Amino acid sequence: MKALFAAIDRSIELFVAAIFMAMVVIGSWQVFSRFVLNFTPSWSEEVQIFGHIWLVFLTIPIAYRRGAHITVEAIRRIMSPWMSKGLDVLIELLWVGFAIATAYYSYRVSLVTRNSVSPGLEIPMSYPYYGMILGSVYLLFVVIRRFAGELPTPDPDELPPEATRL
């Protein structure tokens, strides 16, 4: 089971890397195409925007898994261990709530937007929302694994400092 979970995690990471790579290639192609071929593709901006949305919602769970989300730790440091443990449970429950709310409401919006077509790519406007749904489902999957003790709670002090904020 552990190997399967690890394979899923790695597949999602590679998928995110592929999206990011495609965004960069298309963004550079846009400049090259405009200046060298005198032609601006109508779809390139939209692909990058939708790619960014997929990338963000698929990577929120990866960042969660690695404990990279920005948190103010000042008060936690002076909490008693049981209060800190209670706060951890509350935080996990809020993540579950966020994942369910995002998945459910994105699905509701996608039902409405699937009939409208994006101007550049000419695809249903529900497609970017599918990234939000997929990302939220994966987030739920990861949070449940942490609840079940399959994933350790990361120590915020062990994070690389450059990976924490702007």
Examine residue 73 and tell whether it contacts other proteins (CB under 8 A).
yes
Examine residue 78 and tell whether it contacts other proteins (CB under 8 A).
no
Q: For 55, list phi and psi in degrees, rounded to 5.
A: -60, -45
Whether 92 and 14 have beta carbons less than 8 Å apart is answered as no
Q: In whole angstroms, how large is the CA radius of gyration of the chain?
A: 19
Residue selected from 43, 52, 124, 147 as contacting other proteins according to rule CB under 8 A: 52
Residue selected from 36, 72, 152, 155 as contacting other proteins according to rule CB under 8 A: 72
**What is the torsion angle, in degrees rounded to the nearest 10, for the CA atoms of residue 58, residue 62, residue 67 and residue 68?**
-60
Q: For other proteins, give the closer residue by CB, 109 or 121.
A: 109
Examine residue 89 and tell whether it contacts other proteins (CB under 8 A).
no
38: left (phi over 0), alpha (psi -120 to 50) or beta: left
Examine residue 45 and tell whether it contacts other proteins (CB under 8 A).
yes
Which tokens hold the place of 79? 């909490």
Q: How far apart are CA 17 and CA 8, in angstroms?
A: 14
Binding site for other proteins (CB under 8 A): 13-14, 16-17, 20-21, 23-24, 27-28, 30-31, 35, 45, 48-49, 52-53, 55-57, 59-60, 62-63, 66, 68-76, 79, 87, 90-91, 94-95, 97-98, 101-102, 105-106, 108-109, 112, 128-129, 132, 160-166
